[in-house]
Amino acid sequence: MDILRFATAGSVDDGKSTLIGRLLFDSKAIFEDQLEAVERTSRDRGTEYTDLSLLTDGLRAEREQGITIDVAYRYFATPRRKFIIADTPGHIQYTRNMVTGASTADLAIILIDARKGVLEQSRRHAFLTSLLRVPHLVLAVNKMDLVGYSRERFEEIREEFTAFASKLNVTDLTFIPISALNGDNVVSRSENMPWYLGTSLLHHLENVHIASDRNLVDVRFPVQYVIRPQRATDHAFHDYRGYAGQVAGGVLKPGDEVVHLPSGLTTRIASIDTFDGPVEEAFPPMSVTLRFEDDLDISRGDMIARPNNQPQVAQELQAMVCWMADGVKLTPRSKLTIKHTTRTARAMVRDLHYRLDVNTLHRDEEATSLGLNEIGRVSLRVTQPMFVDDYARNRMTGGFILVDESTNGTVGAGMIMDAS
């Protein structure tokens, strides 16, 4: 059994909570005591139906204000897969939350109300999904029951959205007509839409092929932690020196020739160690410990790659940045801390090339700053060389965060462009 992480985009009005509630309920991930609590609260508030959004709105402030503040993570499993849902709210601060939820997602579900069709927010959701390189996109056309299960309406929406998506980097796009309220095409195929020949949403989630979404070609191993036991009592490990980390790309094997960055020196992998014994190969997302044949000076923040396939070594970074801070704006000459893989350095904004309107994709080249939830093309100068790939090629070696040096808050998320 493997894991599928997916993000859901849409507002309560689109039926997002109802859809999530149904997936959780039908997979028995909602328990009786949770359902009773929701029923009790719904009754107390005089709501006639059981308000499944109460299951996902967890915080007191949210219940009091009837809004969702933050990304909530939900879990369910079927015999085929374990699922992690990043449930992101659909209103203010939407961009920040959706970018956060999409950063680790294998798939995104965008909900569209069949009566309203493709709205500005649907286009925004699709753009963010493609910006964050979520490999699979599902457009769930919801409330089909309210348009008489009309095939024409579904096709209309499909055509309109397909035309828009052709401007984006969407590699796998699936359209599913559903009614979250009635359960049509959610868990099982609907008898109300015999014209729809595809699978149910859950069937799609269970079967979409994600194993090859990882980069298994470019060997990338950011060194995270140096393990040196130096226990006098344990002679077997007295001279042990291992480099621990999580594989960010490629497949590593003992005997492979590798290059260490920044030194550029080459050596061979002597052994790939784990607590459970040495392994014959390591690939993403495994956490392992490497030992090398030669004694090199290697520390946290360094990178292991292949001599004939190395990341870009750069102190000038070109990136799309999503700004996430409430007060301070990003402007040229802003100084920030950057964290990329296991390497932390200081960064200065050299230039803001343009600000992107996430609804129209218009590039505003006159923009002088990025505020909360705004996205722009930025160049950064970094105090140390970074070992980067295009975000489109590898999310682990192409993504970074920016930290405000006075508040210590995480204020930006960046995606490397044009590294090669």
Q: Are 298 and 223 in contact (CB under 8 A)?
A: yes
**Spatial CA neighbour of 92 closest among 111, 70, 75, 73:** 70
In angstroms, what is the minimal distance from the CB of 292 to another protein?
A: 16
* Nearest-approach distance from CB 409 to another protein, in angstroms: 6
Q: Which is closer to another protein, CB of 2 or CB of 418? A: 2
DSSP assignment of 198-266 equals S--HHHHHHH---GGGS--SS-BEE--EEE----TT-GGGTT--EEEEE--BS-B-TT-EEEEETT--E
Closer residue to another protein (CB): 146 or 328:
328
Give me 166's structure tokens: 């052709």
Give min distance, CB of 395 to another protein, in A.
6
Count of Cβ atoms closer than 10 Å to residue 133 Cβ: 22
Comparison of 189 and 329: residue with beta carbon closer to another protein:
329
**CB 185 → another protein: shortest distance, Å?**
26
- To the nearest whole angstrom, how small is the minimum distance from the Cβ of residue 408 to another protein? 4
Q: Do 20 and 98 form a contact (C-beta atoms < 8 A)?
A: no
Beta pairing class for 2-9 and 107-113:
parallel
* CB 152, min distance to another protein, A: 40
Looking only at the bridges linking them, the beta strands covering 81-87 and 2-9 are parallel
Question: Which of 146/226 has CB closer to another protein?
Answer: 226
Residue 332 contacts by C-beta under 8 Å, 6 or more apart in sequence? 349, 350, 351, 352, 368
Residue nearer to another protein on the CB measure, 163 or 227: 227
Query: How far, CA to CA in Å, does 381 sit from each of 120, 347, 378, 404?
Result: 35, 6, 10, 16
User: How far apart, in whole angstroms, are the C-alpha atoms of residue 63 and residue 213?
Assistant: 38
Residue that is written with structure tokens 């965060």 in the block:
401
Q: Give 186 or 402: the residue with its C-beta nearer to another protein.
A: 402
Nearest approach, Cβ of residue 332 and another protein (Å): 23
> With respect to another protein, which residue has the nearer C-beta, 54 or 261?
54
The amino acid that residue 339 corresponds to is: K
Whole-Å CA distances, 168 to 98, 118, 134, 137: 17, 15, 12, 12
Between 103 and 179, name the residue whose CB sits nearer to another protein. Answer: 103
| Three-state secondary-structure class, residue 157 | helix
Q: Cβ of residue 337: shortest distance to another protein, in angstroms?
A: 7
Nearer to another protein, 113 or 213 (CB): 213
Smallest distance from another protein to CB 248, Å: 9
